[in-house]
Amino acid sequence: MKSNFTVPLTKIIKEFSLEELYVPENLDELVISSNEVNRPGLQMAGYFEYFDEKRIQIIGKAEESFLENFSPEKAESRMRELFSHKPCAVVVCRNLEISDKFVELAREYSVPLFRTENSTSSFASALIAFLNLNLAPRVTRHGVLVEVYGEGILLLGESGVGKSETAIELVKRGHRLIADDAVEIRRVSDKSLVGTAPDNIRHFIELRGIGIINASRIFGAGAVKLTEKIDLIINIEQWDVNKAYDRMGLERQTTEILGLKIPSLTIPVKPGRNLAVIIEVAAMNNRQKKLGYNAAEDLLKKLGMTDEETEDTNSVEPF
């Protein structure tokens, strides 16, 4: 899949501790733009239709065994044709022995060549996961991301509504902070959004009247986390006496981010309301819904009521 983003090849080398068999002089300038990889068995057989040179090529035991069926001259010819298409990088797994001719071909066509001790399948799956995260479509939202009872909760709302203060209270209660003020959200799959903080403001929180604090330094390393999947979005707003809020929990609200609809709630702020406790309950209730249990629907069944009979009750103005 093509991406508008890139990841430096040097970052991949560091992440997977790859052994450098040959690297071009411009290594620092090389980037990867595809989150898909390829095992070039078909190419070694001479089929290059639909070959994507932007994919990292992974060579394992099967490919090595396939080449051993050829004479040295024919094997070299097949590998020369592969390298002549100039793939962005080639990685040999299982610490397989590499002939000097293999390295010479990489040097001749300026193709980065690496080796890893990992098995082919485990390396491929780990590399795909890494590329999916680093090349994922992304957007930055003004808000706070916290982990509450294992649920990723994204708090949204206008400045000054109390998002950061609520995050501090949640951290004090044993939960973890991922990002404050700016949340970088990435779509890592067709079903998942993952949030993190920009590197330069990670773990910092702004508290009006106090200033900037470092949550990791004050509350310890266990109070923060680098990334978290977004399971629930909570919109915090000032209480509006003229607005009817959902009182039963039967309405299935969602907020769309990067094309995915995430379950959401709107929680009004009012003196005397403990937002931290409310968000804890919202996180636990969201987990129950994912497991198939809805308390509101269960109550209606016990009362012998239908959804239509609750419409008036659900829209009553708060008292």
195 forms beta bridges with 185, 228
Q: Which phi and psi angles does 254 have, rounded to 5°? A: -140, 155
Token readout for 319 is 């008292």
CA 145 to chain centre: 13
Burial-class residue 10 by CB neighbours within 10 Å (0-12, 13-18, 19+). middle
CA 68 to CA 79: how far, in whole Å? 12
Which amino acids are annotated catalytic? Answer: 142, 163, 181, 247
State the DSSP H helix or E strand holding residue 255, giving kind and residue range, or none if neither.
Answer: strand 254-257
Order of strands across the sheet that contains 254-257: 227-229, 193-196, 176-187, 138-148, 151-156, 232-238, 260-269, 254-257
Nearby residues of 155 by Cβ (< 8 Å), 6 or more positions away: 143, 144, 145, 146, 163, 166, 167, 234, 236, 279
The 3 state secondary structure assigned to 61-79 is HHHHHHHHCCCHHHHHHHH
Token readout for 65 is 């065994």
What is the SS3 assignment for 263?
strand
